Structure 1
C-alpha cells in the first residue's frame, strides 16, 4: 500500500508531522519569493544574492568555493559559475593563497560590498515576523529548528552545518545545553546556527 502523501490536505488533517512539513514548505516558498524579488531588482540571480551576503560577513578562511558549496549545499561547479558571473560584474575579486598557489579566497570589491549591503535585506520581512513572537517562543523555535537541521544532516539530506549541535565543544547534559569552549550552560536562545568558534567533532 502506497504511503499517503504529506501534501494531501485530508492526510494532513490527522497527522501533525505532515502539517509541520507543509508549514515549513510555505515558509521556504516565502524565502524564495523574497530572494527572487531582491535578485530581480538588481539584475542578479538568487544564489548570487546569497554569495554576496555570505562574503560580506564571513572570515577570509571560509571565503572559498569549497566552503560556499558546502554552506549552500551546491556543487563546486554551480558555485564557480555563479562566481564567474559576479566577477564579470566587478563585484568580487580573487585573492591568491600565498601558501598554496592552487587556492584562492574571494573578496568583495567596493561595488560588491555596496551591492551586498543592499541585497542582504531581502529577509527582513521574515525576521520581522519572528520578532513579533515572544522571546521565549523564539528561543524554543530556534532549538526545535536546530534539532531538525541536525537530523537532516545525519540523513545526509544537507551538508553538516556549523551549528552548536554539530560542534565538538557541544554537550547535552540532561535537557540542558553545554559549551565546553566557554565552560558554561547555554539557554536555548544562546544556541548558534553558525558559530565562528565551530570545530568539527574529533573522529
Structure 2
C-alpha cells in the first residue's frame, strides 16, 4: 500500500519537526518531551497549565508528566503555583530560564518557514485544523484550541468570559490554548 503524497509530506514534516525538537532538547540537556512541555506551557491558558492537561495534550501518562515536571522544576525552568480557588490544583508557570530555552526553538523556526513559504495562510490553517480534528477523533483524544475561537468564549478579547466556567478571562489568556475548548456544532479540533 502506498501513501498519498500529502500523507508522505506530512510524515516528512513530522520527522523534521521531531528532529528539531531532539536537537533543541540536547542543546539544553533535556529530553524532547521536556522541551515540548515548555512549549506547551508557553501557549497554555489558566485552564490548561495543569499537569493533567499536559498528559491529555501529549497522550502520555501522569507518571511521565510528573517525572518531566520534576526535572524541569529542578532545573529552574518552571515553578508550581497553587490555585487560590481550588485547594489541591497546581498551575505550572515558566520561569525566565524556561522561556529562554524556547528562544530560537523549533517552533520559531517552523513559524519562520511557514512565513517564508507563504504556505496558504488561512486556507492551510483551516485544512490542518480539519485534519487534526479527524485524527483526534480517530484516536479518541481530547481537543485543545485557542480560547477566543471556542464556542464557550463570550464577549470580546478585552472584556471576555468563559461561558463554561462563568469566569472572566484576562485578554492575554484569550489567545492561548485551552483544554476546555470546543468548536460550535460539537466538532472539536
Structure 1 and Structure 2 fold alike (TM over 0.5): yes
TM-score, normalised by the number of residues in structure 1: 0.67
CA RMSD, 1 decimal: 3.1
CA distance in 2, matches of 1:129, 1:141: 14
How many Å apart are 1:24 and its aligned residue? Answer: 0.8
Equivalent in 92, 105, 112 of residue 98 of structure 2: 112
CA distance in 2, matches of 1:62, 1:81: 18
Structure 2 CA distance for partners of 1:99 and 1:181, relative to 1, 3 Å: closer
How big is each residue's C-alpha offset from its partner over 1:126-150, in whole Å with a ceiling of 9 and x where there is no partner? 3333213347x22221111111111
Structure 2 CA distance for partners of 1:74 and 1:181, relative to 1, 3 Å: farther
Name 2:126's counterpart in structure 1: 143
Q: Structure 2: which 5+ runs fail to align?
A: 157-174
Structure 2 CA distance for partners of 1:122 and 1:40, relative to 1, 3 Å: same
Residues 162 and 195, structure 1, Cα contact 8 Å, conserved in 2: yes
How big is each residue's C-alpha offset from its partner over 1:148-185, in whole Å with a ceiling of 9 and x where there is no partner? 11111221354322259x9436xxxxxxxxx9967xxx
Structure 2 CA distance for partners of 1:144 and 1:42, relative to 1, 3 Å: same
Name 1:130's counterpart in structure 2: 114
- What count of residue pairs does the alignment treat as equivalent? 165
How big is each residue's C-alpha offset from its partner over 1:23-45, in whole Å with a ceiling of 9 and x where there is no partner? 11100000001111111111011
Name 2:151's counterpart in structure 1: 168
Equivalent in 47, 52, 66 of residue 66 of structure 1: 52
TM-score, normalised by the number of residues in structure 2: 0.71
Structure 2 CA distance for partners of 1:155 and 1:52, relative to 1, 3 Å: same
Structure number with bigger Rg: 1
How many Å apart are 1:54 and its aligned residue? Answer: 2.5
CA distance in 2, matches of 1:109, 1:194: 18
CA distance in 2, matches of 1:54, 1:131: 21
SS of residue in 1 equivalent to 2:79: strand
Name 2:182's counterpart in structure 1: 200
Comparing 60-69 with 152-161, which one deviates more in the overlay?
152-161
CA distance in 2, matches of 1:110, 1:130: 27
Name 2:84's counterpart in structure 1: 98
Name 1:46's counterpart in structure 2: 32
Name 2:138's counterpart in structure 1: 155
Name 1:56's counterpart in structure 2: 42
Equivalent in 4, 26, 30 of residue 16 of structure 2: 30
Q: Structure 1: which 5+ runs fail to align?
A: 5-10, 13-17, 170-178, 183-192
